[in-house]
Chains A and B, each alone.
Chain A
């Protein structure tokens, strides 16, 4: 037990839950006490998380592993263990969670209805969120993943807006629907991996999965549970994909988001947009792509169901589809945000828009990671496939001689089909080096495809962190005004700039961060993603620039409808006589860390990027 408590990650995960119990156990009616207790307790995980971050920053040893790992027996009958660990990516998400939770508790002070309950739920939610980011065991992962839904469901359902019942049900059921397949796949994979590793029990350890699962081609007969292994793997992949895609959310699985974000109370929206969405992206980076590089790499020709016609003019692979959906999220999300008259819904749609960039970044990671994986496994045909190339007959003439000289390739065949698998591999090996720009020379490393992947993945994680800050800030401000004015209808506001100067200044600042103004945080991530993905998806990136353009349109629309225009006498009277519309001290204190971090990350992103980068490099096996 002492051992258990000595590990900072265990402490980090469980202090909020204990805090939740404490807050819940406080005597009824002691609302003020509950508020300050909750705030105080939420500062403990913040301290731990920051300490953790600085410790990792100091260590700088990017050996590809996890820090502060802790393993203990937990549920030996089914092979589940308690295994936690942290790396650069998860520590970024952990500090984001630990920063946003106290701020949202500070904002939840304004909820007068049963404050103990909402505060306890927020603390409980923090445990679930941190658990997802820090655990390295799939059973624990899944439990935390599902646990996060419950408090959020109640937060929306009990403290939400008018349409809260619909929104909370949609959120809950939609996410649950995604998780069902995830659960089945986890079990299936645990049994298979346990089998491969020669264990008596299934194993849920993620690191063991990394080693065993990706190249697994079924038992002796190429089957898993009696079915062709590739079909099973593909189904498992789809289940993983769906679960995380709904959570990010990837277009077209996004429609729960505007409803849930809009109806949730401000504190809930902050955590929902700030952290919960990142779990989906984290799932892709931590699980989907490292576990299924072989599936991700494969391209295939779509077949029309029933008719069986092959659409051979179109070669699809997962990464391209993902990038395409990311582009649609960016563009259509921006369009939809622009169309809104409800300010909170506008901000909610902006999350679809911004997370679209994360999706594009993940697509780049998928291409580069699967290529690197295939090369490491000496499957050069697959590596070509992953990089959207194929071995074609002309290659025999073009690369045949060089391949013969380099790798002893020789074949009398004139078409690829006539060659043996071994000959194909030899030829492909040469072509990989010729086309994929993965060469190991100094220049090639710096400007090749591998570097694209690193740039894009760094940008993706940074964008996750940045969106957490700016989305939380936007929701905070929108909520601050809504709380006082009792309306979010943009058409009713206007001309408030000098009436509420502090609010306006914060609003313009946060809007600009969200818009991606260089010098503030939003820009750094977006730029890295665009830079890293342009060579792989040039057309899609150019199309998504329409979305980036419209980001400006909807952000300026928000500013204009609230702050610009002739002074609105209705609100000035309201402001002077009934209720001040200006941000109050509590809200300013909650905004201050966000403003500081947005500025810091914009001006000097390396404070966090350095930590992220060490893990990103090790993800691609480049230590």
Chain B
């Protein structure tokens, strides 16, 4: 291993290193120092951020010729990682356009999440008697960031998989961060196991790809037409009529299905909301779920090998992606409508948006998928962090009421009784009655549990309490639902719809072969419908949270100001009074702080009151900026009127396609997809606006009234899919392990057989023993007795016994020997 530290090619190695070091430092040394740990983590991520930005800007805008051509990494370096017979497996890192694009998005999002976490976790309502939880959170988060950056800079599938699985471990640790809570650790285990289903198959795919090509390096495989052709040819490689590329691609797609929570392995993601909110932002925006899509984007030339989606020749991996992505995009968007937990709406929205990307890849919209991946990361990280701020404010309101001595109904999560908790809409001040605790659905299946601070039914009117959050969240919501022409989400979603309509807009170039573009049609229909639902549920969420009158006392007192959580026990009363006097409103100025002389005490006071607010809302503003502008790099070059902005140049497309051998063609500008995007937004958003801004008396959700209890209940229960999988797989598997594999096979069959053999031997031994005693000893003793008795004359006879034994032994040996010899012939 020769490391040239001054070589620019060495830089990609260093990008993931600071967070990994930070993880080790915090775990080993600073576990009990909160501020030190947070500072170390933020500095580490900041270093990675700086290096990444350097690489990105140098790559994207550098003046020198960086050799950004297909088949070449801009920077890259590798070492021999495994010596295997004729081959050497090289492990390395590289930067190419796709990596560079990710190196723009990922570090920004991660850095924002880290800064936000400093504030968020300080007030995270959790018992921490050992004082190590805060630091531990940052260590896990650092490892997570290290894993993601490793994945991004890797130059081969195996290093990508290493980063992939490190993130899997971190998500397990972070989702189950409150390990005392059953729902929390179970969600962690569910996430790990569900993604592992996919990961073990992906591992097979990686292995197969390795032996089939002798390398896992992206460029050696993906930019090598000869290799791709061979892999895509079912006559030369593969099994059962499928080409190697199809089999490997299918396994890789399964990996993505698990990691990016696509149907049918999506169930872990809504549960993953158990983790602290920055974790949700990390998992659902910047890192883990993006990794799944990133991997298929990266491997796209292989998945396409042997087919051509632009001629409606779909390969197996493409069909899988198209169908599963469509199902997921639509199904999760529908589920998003039926949620009352603000984070869970976002969880389903994430699943749905990832479905958009996967479906887009299924129809060959490579650039559109990558583009949407990046814009989505920005606005989804923004939305999650906003929701965290909302929850935080609600918790504060709850806390405040508690301090005032009012009875706050604590919705206790039922642990043992039902698998998913129980639904109970306990309004403030009302104790639950027995009736209300009854399960709503048959057989004890109950909708997902909604914690009080997350419950949108208890919110409303937060616009006045947390204005910055509400504006930034509105930006996120509009971007998610694709508000035309301005937001990032519009441009990337439009690009996907444009690709799915290619068979109408550009029929000549599309299909020479005359195939029916059935997958395109399916993808378009489901994504278009899903886009309508997306606009509906995201506006519904925002309106329920921020507009109207507060629907509970908690919402009335929600604020991000003041966190005296640690002092809570000691100075409970005074703190509350003080807070009340001082910061009734976020928007109002802090009167006491406007004194002439600023003392240290004032600074401390200011810090304690405002710091969280600043730490949490600062990142929101920055991300809101990107949630709008990140889309402008992908405007269609010929777009009406906006031509003067784009200069006839689609930056993202030109940039990303530099790394590809086959340059993707731009779909021609056409009114149809633009119309579809406009329609989707205005229909969905308009419906949400008219339904939810109308004041209503009933407690039932208007949608629930419209579709009926049964359908609403199915939405709350994820269409009963999780319960089905639980009964179909988990229960029988566990039964098999316990009853069959261990008891029936090992204990009762194998061990019993061994015991019978042992018994048989013991029996034979006993028989011989008895035989010895009766016959041999009898004979042996009898003969000398006889001799002794009858032959006293033979005085010299010492003992006949040894000879007798020898004689007998010889006879036995002869008998056994004969027996064996007879067997042989």
Contact = CB atoms under 8 A, between A and B. Distances in A.
A495 B742 CA distance: 27
A462 B579 CA distance: 62
Most B C-beta atoms less than 10 A away, residue of A447, A610, A620: A447
Given A605-B82, A609-B83, A534 B211 contact: yes
B235 interface: no
A622 B166 contact: no
Nearest to B185: A564
A29 interface: no
Interface in B758-773: 758
B659 to A, nearest CB: 25
A227 B821 CA distance: 11
A452 B211 contact: yes
A236 interface: no
Contacts of B214: 443, 446-447, 451
A501 interface: yes
Interface in A543-590: 545, 548-550, 552-553, 556, 560, 563-567
Interface residues of A, number: 71
B736 A335 contact: yes
Contacts of A373: none
B132 A501 contact: yes
Interface in A521-547: 523-524, 526-528, 530-532, 534-535, 538, 541-542, 545
Interface stretch (A64-72, A116-124, A336-344, A425-433): A336-344
B179 A565 contact: yes
A173 to B, nearest CB: 8
A408 interface: no
Contact of A605 (B27, B81, B179, B206): B81
Given A519-B166, A527-B203, A606 B82 contact: yes
Given A564-B176, A567-B180, A498 B206 contact: no
A613 B179 contact: no
B241 interface: no
B85 A616 contact: yes
B810 to A, nearest CB: 21
A528 B196 contact: no
Interface string B725-763: 000000001101110111101100011001000100000
B83 A610 contact: yes
A451 B741 contact: no
A545 B201 contact: yes
A255 interface: yes
B165 interface: yes
Contacts, number: 177
Nearest to B208: A534
B5 interface: no
Contact of B193 (A227, A538, A556): A556
Given A501-B130, A505-B27, A541 B85 contact: no
B211 A609 contact: no
Interface in B81-124: 81-87
A284 interface: no
Given A501-B31, A564-B179, A174 B203 contact: no
A613 to B, nearest CB: 4
B179 A563 contact: yes
Contacts of B83: 606, 609-610, 613-614
B185 A527 contact: no
A332 interface: yes
Most A C-beta atoms less than 10 A away, residue of B169, B207, B740: B207
A445 interface: yes
A563 B177 CA distance: 12
Grouping DSSP codes into helix (H, G, I), strand (E, B) and loop, the A interface class, with mixed when no group exceeds half, is helix
B132 A498 contact: yes
A390 to B, nearest CB: 19
Contacts of B161: 518
A455 B85 CA distance: 7
A135 to B, nearest CB: 27
A161 interface: no
A495 B132 contact: no
Nearest to B757: A177
B87 A451 contact: yes
Nearest to A232: B824
Contact of A556 (B133, B164, B192, B204): B192
B139 to A, nearest CB: 10
B193 A609 contact: no
A336 B165 contact: no
A338 B737 contact: yes
A520 to B, nearest CB: 9
Nearest to B741: A335
Given A447-B212, A552-B193, A531 B80 contact: no
Interface string A240-259: 00000000000010110010
Most A C-beta atoms less than 10 A away, residue of B84, B162, B166: B84
Interface string A202-243: 000000000000000000000000010000000000000000
Contact of A534 (B27, B185, B204, B754): B204
A531 B207 contact: yes
B808 interface: no
A549 B734 CA distance: 13
Nearest to A541: B204
B185 A340 contact: no
B725 to A, nearest CB: 14
B204 to A, nearest CB: 6
Contacts of A526: 203
Contacts of A339: 734, 737-738, 741-743
Contacts of A140: none
Contacts of B738: 338-339
Contacts of A338: 734, 737-738
Contacts of A527: 158, 203, 206-207
B421 to A, nearest CB: 16
Most B C-beta atoms less than 10 A away, residue of A458, A565, A614: A565
Given A451-B211, A455-B85, A564-B185, A336 B737 contact: yes
Interface in A236-287: 252, 254-255, 258
Contacts of A324: none
Nearest to A352: B746
Interface string A495-517: 10110010001001000100001
A498 B751 CA distance: 40
Nearest to A228: B824
Contacts of A501: 31, 130, 132
Contacts of A534: 204, 207-208, 211
Given A339-B742, A447-B212, A531-B207, A454 B84 contact: yes
A74 interface: no
Given A227-B824, A255-B746, A545-B200, A335 B192 contact: no
B442 interface: no
Nearest to A529: B207
Given A339-B742, A527-B203, 5 more contacts: A446-B87, A454-B84, A517-B169, A545-B200, A545-B204
Interface of B: 27, 31, 80-87, 129-130, 132-133, 158, 161-162, 164-166, 169, 172-173, 176, 179-180, 182, 185, 189, 192-193, 196-197, 200-201, 203-204, 206-208, 210-214, 239, 733-734, 736-738, 740-743, 745-746, 750-751, 754, 758, 824
Nearest 10 A/B pairs, CB to CB: A531-B207, A454-B85, A335-B741, A446-B214, A335-B737, A518-B162, A339-B738, A564-B185, A564-B179, A339-B742
Interface of A: 170, 173-174, 227, 252, 254-255, 258, 332, 335-336, 338-340, 443, 445-447, 450-452, 454-455, 458, 495, 497-498, 501, 505, 508, 512, 517-519, 523-524, 526-528, 530-532, 534-535, 538, 541-542, 545, 548-550, 552-553, 556, 560, 563-567, 604-606, 609-610, 613-614, 616-617, 620, 622
15 contacts: A252-B745, A252-B750, A255-B750, A338-B734, A454-B84, A458-B85, A518-B164, A519-B162, A519-B165, A531-B208, A534-B204, A552-B192, A564-B179, A606-B83, A610-B83
